[in-house]
Structure formats: C-alpha cells, structure tokens
C-alpha cells in the first residue's frame, strides 16, 4: 500500500493534493478505500471556520474495506457512522458513545475525512451495504439517517400536521422520512425546482413567501440553519407544539425566544442518526427518489469545481467519484 494518497485538504483554503499521508489504522479500526463521497453543507461550514477544522474534509462516503483486524470485513462495501467514541468513558459505558466527550468525528473533529483515496473508522461504525443498493442511493445514508433520527426522538402518530422548513437536501430528506409515517407533511422552501423534485407520497410544498398559511403546525422541523428559519419555525408552531432543530448554525443569531415560553413550545435538537435506521428505510421504500438528489459528479482532482457547484443555490448533492 502506498504511503501517500490523493485528498481534498482544507488548511485555510481547499486544495487537491496527491501527497497526503494514508491515515494510520488503529487496532479495531478499518482502512477503507473510498469509492464515492458526498459534499455536505457541513463541509462548507467548516471552510467558513466552523470548529476551526484543518485536515481532509468529508464525512459521507461509500467505500470498500481494504484492511482490518478481522479479515471477514475485507472487500465489503460499506458506509460508516462518523463519530468515533473513546470506548472507555462513562458515556461510552452506557452505550452513548455518540455523546462521548473524547470522540473524534470523521472530517469534522480531529479526524481526517473521506474526500480522499482512503479513510479510517472503527469497524464497529461500519455498516455493509447490500449489493442491491447502488452507490448513488447508499451515499445518502448519512443524511437520511439524520432525518430518521427525528422519528427516533419523537413518536409521530401519523395524523399530525407537519411542516419542514428548508428545501435543501436535509429538509427534503426529513420530509421524505416523515412522509413514511405521516400523511400531512408540507415542505417550505425558496426554490420551485427543489420543491418540485421533493414531491413524494403526497408531500405538499409551499414557497416561503406564503408561509403564514401554514401556522398552527403540530411539528415544525427547521432544516435551513438560518435565523429566519428558526424564527419562522417559532411562528408556525401551534401552542404546545414541537420544533425540531435539524441544522447547526455557524453564525450566532438574534432570535426572539419569548414565543417559545408564551406558547410552551418544546424544542428538540436533532443531530445524526443510526445508519441501520436509514438503511432500513432505503430498503423499505425502494421508490424513495433518492437519485434525484444527485446534482453532479466530479473526479476528486476537480474537488474545487465540485465545491463551487455544491455552493450554487440549485445544488442538492454533489458527489466525488474517487475509486469506482
């Protein structure tokens, strides 16, 4: 195995390099040859200074296990959960490794990411992708699992009025995940093209301009990560309703929180989900139009162009083909 590899390195600016060290595999970890990787909004937030990240970007990938302690994993096509827990603190002992204070996060915290020929993750984080699911569906496992996390945190009976704010990739996936259990889901966004693409299982759509007609929602999912989105969520939620915050906001915001108290709203922060839940949803709903999310594909060497494409307002998911 070569000692260096091609990678998309962020060291204050994004660069394609061919001499980045292949990451060292710790005991219990796997070395993964990346096939396909996705660019996520979080990558672009990191480039604006979020978490002061330096290193190889990327946390969404499908790859093949090249090397691990247990040879049974070798050659398996996998996706991976991105938080690597320490395994020995009190959170880890309770099975809550996702909240381990010592965890690293692939491509986000102290851990080189997957916009590279190779990445490493604990074998315990890996999930094998069935051969029936192609890369362009499986690559959405991470954000789809994050969308599924809402159903894990909040029991949805099915008759609630649900509004999802934000017609980006995460908002659309949240709407799709919620539409698997609820019949009254409205997606609110700013892009007619994205709203049209999001239609599935009777999801209603509305442009942000006419959003006041949606007031009184039982559940509002905020997936824009903007101050206006959070303010709109507070406005649309009925008294005693639930707001799910689904997006990290890099810039501090001035938001009037008084209505949360006055209307006794519940606010739930919702982050990543379990890949098993996302994979189950992909298998249970083979008609979920996941490939519509793929805006463009680039070779890794054109990573800068790929990020420019991903930053355009009509982009949903831009992929990098690394070693197909």
Chain residues that interact with Zn ion, rule: CB under 5 A: 40, 42, 85-86, 89, 92, 100
Q: Are 138 and 127 in contact (CB under 8 A)?
A: no
Between 100 and 217, CB nearer to Zn ion: 100
Least separation in angstroms between residue 157's CB and Zn ion is 29
Residues 6+ positions from 248 with CB-CB distance below 8 Å? 42, 45, 50, 225
Number of helical H runs and strand E runs in the chain: 10, 18
Distance CA 104, CA 298 (A): 28
Between 37 and 165, CB nearer to Zn ion: 37
Between 52 and 90, CB nearer to Zn ion: 90
Least separation in angstroms between residue 114's CB and Zn ion is 11
Phi, psi dihedrals of residue 205, rounded to the nearest 5°: -130, 155
Between 35 and 161, CB nearer to Zn ion: 35
Between 81 and 160, CB nearer to Zn ion: 81
Least separation in angstroms between residue 20's CB and Zn ion is 21
Least separation in angstroms between residue 32's CB and Zn ion is 17
Least separation in angstroms between residue 39's CB and Zn ion is 9
Question: How many C-beta atoms surround the C-beta of residue 271 within 10 A?
Answer: 14
Q: Which residues of 152-165 are buried (b: 16+ CB within 10 A; e: fewer)?
A: eebebeeebbbbbb
């Amino acid at each position: 195995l070569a000692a260096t590899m091609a990678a998309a390195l962020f060291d204050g600016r994004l660069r394609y390099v061919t001499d980045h060290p292949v990451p060292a595999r710790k005991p219990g970890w796997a070395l993964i040859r990346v096939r396909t990787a996705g660019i996520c909004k979080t990558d672009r937030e990191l480039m604006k200074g979020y978490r002061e990240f330096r290193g190889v970007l990327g946390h969404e990938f499908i790859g093949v296990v090249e090397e691990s302690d247990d040879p049974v994993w070798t050659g398996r096509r996998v996706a991976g959960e991105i938080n690597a827990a320490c395994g020995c603190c009190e959170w880890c002992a309770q099975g809550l490794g996702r909240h381990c204070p010592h965890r690293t996060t692939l491509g986000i915290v102290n851990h080189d990411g997957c916009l590279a020929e190779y990445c490493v993750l604990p074998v315990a984080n890996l999930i094998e992708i069935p051969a029936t699911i192609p890369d362009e569906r499986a690559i959405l496992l991470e954000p789809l699992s994050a969308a599924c996390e809402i159903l894990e945190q909040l029991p949805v009976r099915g008759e609630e009025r649900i509004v999802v704010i934000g017609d980006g990739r995460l908002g659309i996936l949240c709407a799709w995940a919620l539409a698997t259990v609820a019949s009254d889901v409205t997606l609110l966004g700013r892009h007619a093209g994205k709203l049209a693409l999001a239609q599935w299982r009777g999801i209603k759509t509305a442009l942000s301009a006419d959003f006041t007609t949606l007031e009184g929602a039982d559940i509002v999912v905020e997936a824009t990560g903007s101050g206006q989105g959070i303010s709109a969520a507070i406005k649309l939620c009925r008294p005693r309703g639930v707001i799910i915050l689904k997006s990290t906001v890099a810039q501090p915001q001035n938001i009037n929180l008084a209505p949360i108290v006055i209307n006794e709203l519940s606010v739930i922060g919702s982050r990543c989900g379990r890949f098993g839940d996302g994979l189950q949803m992909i298998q249970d709903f083979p008609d979920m139009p996941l490939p519509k999310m793929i805006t463009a594909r680039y070779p890794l060497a054109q990573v800068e162009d790929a990020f420019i494409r991903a930053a355009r307002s009509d982009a949903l998911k831009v992929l990098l083909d690394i070693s197909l």
